[in-house]
Amino acid sequence: MAERLRLMTVHAHPDDESSKGAASTARYAAEGNDVMVVTCTGGEAGSILNPAMDRPGVVEKMPEIRREEMARAAGILGVQHRWMGFVDSGLPEGDPPPPLPEGCFARQPLEVPTAELVRLVREFRPHVVVTYDETGGYPHPDHVKCHEVSMEAFDASGDPERFPEQGKPWQPLKLYYCHGFSRRRMQLFHDSLLERGLESPYEEWLRKWDGSRPDPYERVTTQIECADYFEVRDEALRAHETQIDPNSRWFAVPLDIQRAVWPTEDYELVRSLVDTTLPEDDLFAGVQERVHA
């Protein structure tokens, strides 16, 4: 019997797995591959972003509620899930921003969370790892830290001299960054909504786009066709009730427009220990040949 292919995605907070690459992870899971989502923090510092959940007792139970939300989302996506167990750093606000809380994820010495992620990699033995780019996707300290830890663990996991207490070495074969928020994608959605006489929530966002900043789309090497799983993605996103307003712009673009205009989720191949040809349409491109040789 052929070995099952394994994909691991590493995220900063619960709900990130449902807003970044969720349709493609749902597709890979549905096709019989083993998929694991790793969440670095418990999301304890998250605010209530859904007015319907802004009621007494929710803030006090936020850690417990976010764990329940994550369990529901993982079930919807059909993925395995592991917590790394670190404390949400929060998004510092102010000028200058206040210091991050003592003991939070972003302030951990790099080797501490790296050791935990190495343990999970060696336990699950993924062929492919997905994480954020060096900006974190957006400048939240936990997202940036997630990138740093993922990069360090990708190499350390296969090195028998590093973290020997964390299990038998395992070297993943490919590493990707997930790119979801490109200017090109938002512009196409914006134009398509206006063409249909619908209101677009992206006008101000596009107007404020820093033109000196490269569009992440320019870095995309790999596009995964996953339009059939957009409904699953949205259901998983709604499972994070404290964080996602069902009336927000997350759901502003009708699915038929999304499927017609942008039926993929987008990734950047950063490291590969197998032969592959760019552009790709499969995160496991080159891996199947190696694993099933």
Mention every residue, 6+ apart, whose C-beta is less than 8 A from residue 128: 5, 6, 7, 8, 172, 173, 174, 175, 176, 283, 284, 287
User: pLDDT at position 139, please?
Assistant: 84
d(CA 220, CA 179): 7
* Average pLDDT of every residue of the chain: 94
Q: Higher model confidence: residue 91 or residue 2?
A: 91
pLDDT digits (tens, 9 = 90+) for 232-258: 999 999 999 999 888 888 899 999 999
User: pLDDT at position 276, please?
Assistant: 96
Q: pTM of the entire structure?
A: 0.95
At residue 92 the predicted structure's pLDDT band, cuts being 50, 70 and 90, is: confident
d(CA 8, CA 255): 27
Residue 174 pairs in a beta bridge with 128, 272
d(CA 75, CA 94): 38
pLDDT digits (tens, 9 = 90+) for 159-178: 999 999 999 999 999 999 99
List the chain domain ranges: 6-182+216-291
Written out in words, the top-level CATH class of the domain with range 6-182+216-291 is alpha beta
Q: How far is CA 149 from the centre of its chain?
A: 14
- Give yes or no for a contact between 90 and 104, defined as CB atoms under 8 angstroms apart: yes
pLDDT at 290 over 80: yes
User: pLDDT at position 1, please?
Assistant: 59
pLDDT digits (tens, 9 = 90+) for 182-236: 999 999 999 999 999 999 998 888 988 887 788 989 999 999 999 999 999 999 9
Q: Summarize the confidence of residues 256-263 as an average pLDDT.
A: 97
User: pLDDT at position 12, please?
Assistant: 97
